[in-house]
Amino acid sequence: MIFGVLQVILWLAVHAILNRHLNERFNQDLLRRGQTIAESFEDARRRESTAGPAEAFWEIMKPFEADEIYILAHFLNERRTVRSANLRGAKFPYEEPRDQDHWVPRFETLEGTLVEPLSGGDPLRLMTIDVDHPPAPFYLQLAANLEPLNRVIGDIQRLLLVFVVISLLIAAITSWFVATRSLSPIGVIARTAREFSTKRLSERIPVPDSGDEAADLVITINGMLDRLESQIKLQQAFIASASHELKTPLAILLGEVQGLRRRASADPEMVVFTDSLEEEIRKLLRIVETFLIMTRSRAVKRLEVVADVVVEETILSAIRKCRYEAKTRGVLMAPRLSADEGMGEAIVSGDADLITSMIENLLSNAIHHSPPGGTVEVEARTTFKEVHIHVRDQGPGIPEEHHSRIFEQGDQVSPEGKFSGKSGTGLAIVTAVVDVHGGSISVRNRESTGCEFIVHLPLAR
């Protein structure tokens, strides 16, 4: 931008200098012509003084007459005026000089009605010289058509305009090319930063060959990403290890509590205590399971080891795991697993445990938001390319403006359909498992009441 403004200023200065130079040349040519006429008249008068000044000037003026040059001489003592033939009796304006210096020219530009019969409306440049030539002082006026000069100046203006436009285009293209080449690493850095996630920990920014500050910046950022990847992997390994370590004692503790409840079934207070304890242990097991699933799903872009997974079997397994929670909340689960006619059994490629956990989290979410006595429906529908898993609840529904937000980790919806401010991971687990299996998930409110979550998974080839 600054370079373009400087170029425009430069070309304007060049135009002003050329314009002034051409006008000065034009005036100088007019002055030399007038001086030559005046000097020729003085020489003629010195050689032959018999003829009157007007008659002598008439003879001197004839060789200098031209179509575009208008000549007028006015002899002050005789009050006679000699004009070139093309003046046609016209008279130029004249003002008395402020001083009486010999050969002091005065220049002015004539426009308007005076020049119309002379030059067809083109402006004239008038030069006036006061010649103190005793005994016949006179003033000499020469006028020339400015149209040729204006035409040259116009051509120069157009040429400069073309040069300005071309130079600005070249400057803009060059600046764009240089800026694009210089800032391309910055664009790559920005894109990498936007796309960076725990699933793309190994990606790095290509180091440019320029060897400048941009290359140093890329190297520094790649080093930061190396350290970040190392820390995240250490964190994931610690969470996975801790979760594995916690899962076994919690499972044993759950079994002990269930055995204690059976032995103390005659004591109502002990039954209430063991039920409460079992519920809390199951919550701890779910949290541990959540850590394991999130760690596994975020550790890879796609599953490297896959197997054929029968969708109906994973649904039944998830229903069994959620049976206790549904019974506790008084919610009925109603599976619909009949495959569409001609489609056969729904089989996907993936990890059976992860898919089961995904469906389990959807069912648990539906149970949590359904009222006592309500029904949670789960259905599998098969098309030629995909299997669609539908989970429907009878809760209050979710406002449409929050449909995308509910899949973010940390945003939990209350049973009233509002964000509770509590941390939630269930739907985040569902999203992670769906992504790692190359599928998608959507949500919509039912016409009557409640929500419907739909998972789309590609069928095994």
Residue 405 lies in a domain: yes
Strands 69-75 and 138-145: antiparallel
User: Does 256 share its domain with 339?
Assistant: no
The Cα–Cα gap between 359 and 331 comes to: 17
Q: 360: alpha, beta or left, given left = phi > 0 and alpha = psi -120 to 50?
A: alpha
Same domain, 205 and 138: no
Per-chain mean pLDDT for the chain: 80
Higher-pLDDT residue of 34, 292: 34
**Terminal alpha carbon distance of the chain:** 58
Could you report the per-residue pLDDT of 229-249, keeping only the tens digit for each? Answer: 788 777 767 776 776 677 778
Give pLDDT, residue 393: 92
pLDDT digits (tens, 9 = 90+) for 92-123: 888 887 665 556 788 998 887 777 778 778 88
CATH of the domain at 243: 1.10.287.130
177 within some domain: no
- The CATH number covering residue 35 comes to 3.30.450.20
Q: Same domain for 59 and 140?
A: yes
Contact between 359 and 314 (Cβ < 8 Å): yes
pLDDT of residue 414: 52
pLDDT tens for residues 344-398? Answer: 678 898 888 888 888 988 998 899 889 999 999 999 988 888 999 999 998 888 8
Shared domain for 116 and 221, answered yes or no, is no
**When comparing pLDDT for 5 and 126, which is higher?**
126
Nearest to 445 by CA among 380, 407, 392: 392
Amino acid at 5: V
Full strand arrangement of the beta sheet holding 451-458: 332-336, 375-382, 386-392, 451-458, 440-445
Within a domain: 179: no
* pLDDT tens by residue, 332-341: 998 887 555 5
Percentage of the chain with pLDDT > 90? 10
340 and 420 share one domain: yes
CATH number, domain at 441? 3.30.565.10
Q: Give yes or no for residue 301 having a pLDDT over 60.
A: no
Is residue 353 domain-resident? yes
Residues 203-232: tens digit of each pLDDT = 777 777 767 777 788 788 888 888 887 887
Mean pLDDT in residue range 404-428: 56
Q: Give residue 421's pLDDT.
A: 39
Name the token pair of 296.
């596994």
Evaluate whether residue 25 is within a structural domain.
Answer: yes
Instruction: Report whether pLDDT(46) > 50.
Output: yes
pLDDT at 181 over 60: yes
417: left (phi over 0), alpha (psi -120 to 50) or beta: left
Q: Does pLDDT of 270 surpass 90?
A: no
Given pLDDT bands bounded at 50, 70 and 90, which one contains residue 460? Answer: confident
Predicted local confidence at residue 419, as pLDDT: 43
Q: Are residues 450 and 399 in the same domain?
A: yes
Query: What are the backbone dihedrals phi and psi of residue 69, each rounded to the nearest 5 degrees, phi first?
Result: -120, 125
DSSP secondary structure, 96-145, as one string:
--SS--TT--EEEEE-STTTHHHHTT--EEEEEEEE--TT--EEEEEEEE
Q: Which of 7-16, 74-83, 179-188, 383-392 shows the lowest per-residue confidence on average (mean pLDDT)?
A: 179-188
406 and 447 inside one domain: yes
Residues 238 and 364 both lie in one domain:
no
For residues 89 and 232, membership in a common domain is answered with: no
Do 319 and 441 belong to one domain? yes
Confidence of residue 410 (pLDDT cuts 50, 70, 90): very low
Considering the domain architecture, whether residues 252 and 308 belong to the same structural domain is answered as: no
Residue 56, pLDDT score: 82
In a domain? residue 171: no
Task: Give the span between the Cα atoms of 341 and 338, in whole angstroms.
Answer: 9
Q: How many domains does the chain have?
A: 3
- Label residue 383 left, alpha or beta by phi (over 0 means left) and psi (-120 to 50 means alpha): beta
Structure-token pair, residue 352: 């059976």
What CA–CA distances, in Å, run from 374 to 25, 279, 330, 367, 416? 102, 21, 8, 9, 15
Report pLDDT for 197.
Answer: 62
Same domain flag for 232 and 307: no
Task: Tell me the pLDDT tens digit for each residue of 139-149.
Answer: 899 998 888 88
Q: Is the pLDDT higher at 88 or at 71? A: 71
pLDDT digits (tens, 9 = 90+) for 311-325: 899 999 999 989 888
Q: With b meaning 16 or more CB within 10 Å and e meaning fewer, what string describes 267-304?
A: eeeeeeebeebbeebbeebbebbbbbbbbbbbbeeebe
Per-residue model confidence (pLDDT) at position 422 = 40
Q: Domain span at residue 233? A: 196-301
Q: Is 183 inside any structural domain?
A: no
Helix, coil or strand: residue 7: helix
